[in-house]
Structure formats: C-alpha cells, structure tokens
Structure 1
Amino acid sequence: KSSVQTIGEEQIQNPYTELLVLKGHQDIVRFLVQIDDCRFASAGDDGIIFLWNAQTGEKLFELHGHTHKITAIAPFSSSDVTEEKTHLIITASADRTVIVWDCTSGRQVQRVSCFHSTVKCLTVLQRLNVWLSGGSDLCVWNRKLDLLCKTSHLTDAGISALVELPKNCVAAAVGRELIIFRLSASNNGSEGWNVLEVKRLVDHQDNISSLVSVNDLTFVTGSHVGELIVWDAFDWTKQASECNFWDSSVHPDVQPEIKLSQSPNETSVQHLTSDEECVFAAVGKGIYVYNLQMKRVIACQRTAHDSSVLHIEKLPNRQLISCSEDGSVRIWELREKQQLPAEPVPTGLL
C-alpha cells in the first residue's frame, strides 16, 4: 500500500479534490498571491493581473498597467493599526516599472519606474515598514516608494528570490549562491537604511529557483536540479538536504512508478510554500508535499497541470491554488482528514 497519496485514486486518505479550473490568462501564469481569506491574484506573461474570488472562481478585476510580462508580485497591505486596512498588492514587470494596486477598486495607487534592470522579486518587511526589490541589485524602499538605499551591482542574472529572516536579515538567491543581507537603520536620525552582506552560502549544486520561510526557525531552498535544503534561520547552517525528494523510487515503501524524465523542466523545484509543518513544492507538472519532520514526501499530485507548475499558494480556508505554463489557475480543497482507527497513516494531502 503506497504511503503517498495521489489525486484521482480510490483512497480513503485523499482529502484534496480539485474544485475549479480558472481560465482567463492568454499566456503563461507565473505568480499567485493571497489578498485575504477569499481573494487572490494571478499574473504572468500577458502582463495582466487577475483578481479572483477563491470561493466561486469569479474574476473580480483585470488590472492593466504593465506593458510587458509580470516578473514579481507581493501583498502590500498596511499593517498600521491606526488606519483602516486597505488590501494592496505590488507588482513588477519586464517594462521596468513597479505598481501598487488597490484590490478593492482595481485601481493603480502608486507607480515607480526608475529601475535600470528588471525587478525579479519583491518582498515586504512589515515589521520594518519597508519593502525590497531584487534584480541586478537589492533595493530598500519605504511605503511611499522612496528609495532608501541599495547594494552595488550584484549580478547580471539578477536576484531570483528573496525571503525574510530573523534579526533584520534577508536571504537572496543569486545563481547557486544564497547571500545573507542584514538591514540596519542609519544612526543620524534620518529615514536612511544600510544593507550589509554578511554571508554567502554555496551548498547548492545548481541555480536556486525558490525560497520559503517555514517558521521563525527554519527556511527552505530549492534548485533547478531537484535539490531541497533546510536551513536554520538564525545561524544559516544547513539542517537537512534532499535531492530528487519527489522521486518515489527513493522510498522503498512506495510502490514503484514510471520515473519522471530527467529534463530540467521535470526536475526543477519551481516554487515552494509552507504550512510550518510541511513544504509544498512545485516540481515539473506536479505538486509534492514534503514533511520536514518525517523527511519525506507524504502526498503528491504528479500531474496537477498539463505543463510545468510555476507557483503554488496556500489559502487559509483549507485550499491550495496553483498556476502553470498551461495558462490555467487551479483551486484545490482539503476535506476533513479521515484517519483509520486501526492504523496511523500520514496525512494525505492533495
């Protein structure tokens, strides 16, 4: 009996079902971002951002403003308790602009276009009330879109991913290197900031394609050749590593299956997200759930899409969303767990 649950099989421990397939994009869909409990946004190579109702699949808005493909997206809502909460997102494009959008009205709020290269990733540090853009360099901005500071030129290839770490640090993926930066406010009383490079980690064998913070103690990186590395978020030491973790033949208790072909598209860890216990990984056309304590895949859907899955996002209402090169967005729902009283079984997700 396979301990890995797969959608579509007749099985008791398969609590995920596909709810909706959302169509609308005219090209590859690369990014998803949660707005609130019932809304999310998708974006990709058609340059349009779609806002969706996660419950019904209704398209709420089409956001037009970029002239080239979207290269990054992040939630941008204010954490100021004195203000009425506004749901904002921030997007970057190959047109070298960054736009802040109001998700309630569908309108542009702010725009900045002083970039010398394409912004490839965005992350918002709510605690410090700043946001970061990563491209050929790393820039720190305030919420008014004023540039506070930036690093020198890091790479022509660009920073491919960013993740917030404790102690005012961030990890940036640059090729196969992981660069740790520390942010510090200037001492002269101005709103200036400094960005200091504190460490370079070169444990990956190939380019890092994804980064995710699991909890306050741990973050995880994935690479183009199927590596998964678990890191300590405080001292940046390697806690565990896997290669081809998604390959069922690695685990003897799993029934043998036809192995994936070893083309880069099939092995690359395109995106990671987490629920603090498990890491959800987009690899090839599939979605894999890797339990950090058990150190193995506990669930998977090997053909979640017709083409490579590029981004996955968890919603708080027991749902998962995914998007793909095939131009579709899919919503999956987690039903109640059904444990057999006679035997303990791993949580079957997807």
Structure 2
Amino acid sequence: MLPRLKKAALQTIGEDQGQNPYTELLVLKAHRDIVRFLVQLDGYRFASAGDDGIIVVWNAQTGEKLLELRGHTQKITAVITFLPLDSCEASSQLLLTASADRTVVWDCDTGRQIQRVTCFQSTVKCLAVLQRLDVWLSGGSDLGVWSRKLDLLCKTSHLSDTGISALVEIPGNCVAAAVGRELIIFRLVTPTEELLEWDIIEVKRLLDHQDNILSLANINDTSFVTGSHVGELIIWDALDWTVQACERTFWSPTPQLDAQQEIKLCQKQNDIPVNHFACDEENVFAAVGRGLYVYNLQLKRVIACQKTAHDSNILHIDKLPNRQLISCSEDGAVRMWEVREKQQLAAEPVPTGFFNMWGFGRVNKQANQPVKKQEENVTTCSLELIGDLIGHSSSVEMFLYFEDHGLVTCSADHLIILWKNGERESGLRSLKLFQKLEENGDLYPEST
C-alpha cells in the first residue's frame, strides 16, 4: 500500500505583509462572466473584456466605469490597442477586440464602433500590432495582415486546425507564430515598384518543442523565448532563429528514492505547463505550473525559484521595479515576491538543468561520484514572499500594474479589483481634507 501523498509546502505570509503596499481595495462590478483580459489605454484608463462579450473602460484612479462597449455576441478571445491614422498621441488609443463572431475597432474616448470585420474563417486567437510597418496581424487558422483602415492586405492559407496561439514581432520584417508545437517564422513582404501587393512568406518551421507551445515573448531585439505544455523553455536567436539555450524537465520517478519521495516527484506532464513569461535585460521570469523560476540569460541557468509559489497553476506574472515580481493563479491569489541576492559558497556544486537544480528532475546516475567544486563564488538569488493579496474567490486570470494608481486584477468570479497603496491613499485623503478646510476658511479660524 502506497503511503498517503503529502502536499508540498506552500509559501505563506502572516499579518505582517512585508513590503506589500496594497492594503486597500475597490471591487468593480460590470461583467457577467469570466473576465480574461485587461489592457492599459493610457496613464489612468484601462479596458476589461471576457466571456460575456462586453468591453468596459475604467478609470484606474477612482474605479469609475467610463464606457461599456457592446458589439460581440460571443466571448472575446484577444484584445490589443493601437494608434489611429490621424493621431500620434498616446491618449488617443483605439481598441481592437476579437471574437468568434467578428473583430471590432473601438474609439476608447467615445465608445463608438469604428469598423467591424466579419470575414474571418476561424476564431482569432491572438492579435499583434507592427507599428513600424503600420499594420496589425490576426492569428487563427491562418495569419492575416491588415491595414489600420481594416483592409485585408494578405493572408496565409489554412495553417492548422489548432491555429496560431501567439505572435511576436522579430527583426527583418518577420514574425514568429506558435502553431501547436511548431514555431513558424513568417516574413512580411512590403509593396515595391515591382511588387505592388503585400505578401507573406513562410521562411522556416522550428520543431524543437516536444509539445504545444503555450507562451511566447520577446526578450530584447536579438532574442525571444518560448515555453511548452511539458515544461520546456527555449531561448531563440531572433536574427537566425537558432537555439541559444534550452531547458527541459524529465518528470520520472527513480528507483533510488523511497516511495514517499517517488510520489512527490512523479508529476503529470500537464502539471508543469510554462504559462507565462516576464523578461528584463538580465533574466527571464517563468511561470511553470505552480512554481516561479528566474532564468539568468548570461549564466544560462536558473538562479532562483519557488517550486510551490501557489496552490494551482500560475497564469500571469510581471516584473515590477525594485526587483519585485507579482504572480496570479488559478487558486485565486495574487502574490508579491522580491528577488534577493545571496552568496553561494565555493564548496557547493554548481546545479545544472532547469529543474534538476531544485530536485525536480531525473537524478544523476553519477550522483554518488565526487562533484567538481567551483573555482570561485557564484551569486545566486532567492524569491521571497513579501505580500499576499486575497480578494478574489476564483481564478485570477491576469493583472495590470498602474504604478501610483495601484494594481488591477480580473478573475473568473466576474469581478475586477483595484488594489490601492493604503498609505498613499490615506495621504491623499488627508490632503483633500486640508484643501477643503482651507477653501472653506475653516483651517485657520479667526481668533475671537
């Protein structure tokens, strides 16, 4: 009889929330179904969208509902912003929303529908704007290139029944498209004197992933990263599309472990999807299953992790200033982390592999052999929990960081929560009170 499966220890935080400034919250209600998308429109406005087909524009400072946009009859599958033709001001954003029924362009200032597109042959799963080429792309069973006037410039033939799940722009008028487990490189050919029309050329198909690609993100001008359903992370050269670095996991039990350890390590492959990335100049931050991993681009290895950062799969992460990270999960929690440096002793072995260094991977067959020591100290890091935001009753789909205006989260509970810096809000209320008293002449009453 196998021993009872012991649940992995989850990081917890007490009443002392460390460096968490978000101690006040505003609950925003307008949706009737899962809210999956948040998009920032400018310094104080954002839009929300989801399975009810409604788009709502909000004031991030006050929580006021500014506009409610209705034009879809089915759930919204992608949202993106772009500038109109006659404006270069960031405050004059247009909103592009896609659904199985149509794609609609909205004026975010008036709520007016600019135009509809209904000629898609399949659901649009992703959208991308290529500012330099002044076009936008739609990804579904084919790849479409559109002008800002919503004219279809060109498209590919039917690629796959699974469709394009993600797109990123890369140099050379190219885009990388995730289609199942394939990564397809397309080149956009712009009109010339000889060629009067736009065209899309399939340049290369990359088959390095063993399962479906779930996440795709640009790192910088020369590299991008992909993550798959079975815990693979691949960093690609954006210029020649070769693999710069690759980390894979091998989730298999080993005979050297006792039964209890074997159960812990024998996880199903669908428990380790790479759901989302955040990047900076030094690191790739990866949400892998329930865990958070910091992959250093220079060292080409994981330098910090929390294997059980949440109780369920992490859906969205983002890096904040001051070496902080925020994650949200299917468990309904939003958590704040800080990347802290620590010194690794010279006598310690250098861990290798994406998960092997944290005890997740296949045990080295030569584990009993002496390990070569490092010649010098290596700086590594830890991820420390500094804040736990509890407010949603269901899966938190994503969030937006609004700097001084706080943090916005959306959830399967149909709610949007605007998290505020309690100390800052208290100071603003005091300031307003003093201003009001001063206006009314009550701040410095005349002596009798």
After superposition, residues 1-350 of structure 1 pair within 5 angstroms as 8-9=12-13, 24=29, 25-54=31-60, 60-78=66-84, 85-95=91-101, 97-188=102-193, 192-244=197-249, 262-263=267-268, 265-285=270-290, 287-294=292-299, 295-296=301-302, 298-300=304-306, 302-303=308-309, 308-312=313-317, 346=381, 348=383
Percent of paired sites with the same residue = 61
Q: Which has the larger radius of gyration?
A: 2
Whole-angstrom distance in 2 between the partners of 1:317 and 1:80: 38
- Alpha carbons of structure 1 residues 339 and 221: separation in structure 2 relative to 1, 3 Å: closer
Contact 1:34–1:315 under 8 Å retained in 2: no
Alpha-carbon distance in structure 1 between the residues aligned to 2:61 and 2:323: 11
**Residue identity matched to 1:147:** L
Report if the CA contact (8 A) 1:28-1:324 is conserved: no
Native 8 Å contact 1:168 1:183 kept in 2: yes
SS in 1 for 2:132: coil
Whole-Å Cα distance in 2 between the matches of residues 212 and 111 of structure 1?
28
The answer (yes or no) to whether the contact 1:38–1:55 under 8 Å persists in 2 is yes
Paired residue for 2:401?
Answer: none
- 2:289 aligned partner, one-letter code: G
Amino acid at match of 1:49: I
In the alignment, is the contact (CA less than 8 A) between 1:134 and 1:161 conserved in 2?
Answer: yes
User: Residues 216 and 190 of structure 1: is their aligned pair in 2 closer, same or farther, counting only changes over 3 Å?
Assistant: same
Question: How many Å apart are 1:68 and its aligned residue?
Answer: 1.2
SS in 2 for 1:46: coil
Match of 1:251 in 2: none
Query: How many Å apart are 1:16 and its aligned residue?
Result: 6.2
Q: Is the 1:280–1:290 Cα contact (8 Å) retained in structure 2?
A: yes
How far off its partner does 1:203 sit? Answer: 0.2
Bigger CA drift: 287-296 or 152-161?
Answer: 287-296
Change (3 A) 1:58 1:302: farther
Check whether the contact 2:342–2:381 (CA below 8 A) recurs between aligned residues.
no
Cα 1:52–1:319 change in 2 (3 A) is farther
Equivalent pair of 1:73/1:92 in contact (CA under 8 Å): yes
In structure 2, what residue type is equivalent to 1:185?
T
Q: Distance in 2 between matches of 1:339 and 1:264?
A: 31
Distance in 1 between the 2:51 and 2:290 partners?
A: 18
Equivalent-residue separation in structure 1 for 2:163 and 2:320 (angstroms): 29
What is the alpha-carbon distance in structure 1 between the residues aligned to residue 151 and residue 236 of structure 2? Answer: 33
Query: Does the C-alpha gap of structure 1 residues 148 and 315 become closer, same or farther in structure 2, counting only changes over 3 Å?
Result: farther
| Partner SS for 2:271 | helix
Contact 2:230–2:270 under 8 Å retained in 1: no
SS in 2 for 1:160: strand
What TM-score do the two structures reach when normalised by structure 1? Answer: 0.76
Per mean C-alpha deviation after superposition, the further-off stretch among 79-88 and 236-245 is 79-88
CA-to-aligned-CA distance 1:321-342 (integer Å, 9 cap, x gap): 766557x695x6788x88799x
Structure 1 regions of 5+ residues with no counterpart? 1-5, 246-255
Give the direction of change, closer, same or farther, for the CA distance of 1:238–1:84 in structure 2 (3 Å limit).
Answer: closer
Alignment deviations for residues 181-210 of structure 1 (CA, whole Å, 9 cap, x no partner): 001112248873110001110000001111
Q: Which has the higher contact order (CA 8 A, sep 6+)?
A: 1
Once the two structures are TM-superposed, the CA of residue 279 in structure 1 deviates from its matched residue by 2.5
Question: For 2:26 and 2:11, how far apart are their aligned partners in 1?
Answer: 15
Instruction: Evaluate the alpha carbon distance shift between residue 240 and residue 141 of structure 1 in structure 2; reply closer, same or farther with a 3 A threshold.
Output: same
RMSD (CA atoms): 4.0
Q: Which residue of the partner structure matches residue 409 of structure 2? A: none
1:29 to partner: Cα distance = 3.9
Distance apart, 1:57 and its partner CA: 5.7
In 2 relative to 1, CA 82–47 (structure 1 residues): closer, same or farther, beyond 3 Å?
closer
> What TM-score, normalized by structure 2, do the two folds share?
0.61
Match of 2:203, SS?
A: strand
Structure with greater helix share of residues:
2
* Cα distance between partner residues in 2 of 1:334 and 1:303: 9
In structure 2, the CA distance between the partners of 1:279 and 1:62, relative to structure 1 (3 Å rule), is farther
Shift of 1:109: 2.8
Gaps of 5+ in 2: 1-9, 251-260, 346-378, 386-448
Deviation at 1:130, TM superposition (A): 0.3
The CA deviation at 1:90 is 1.4
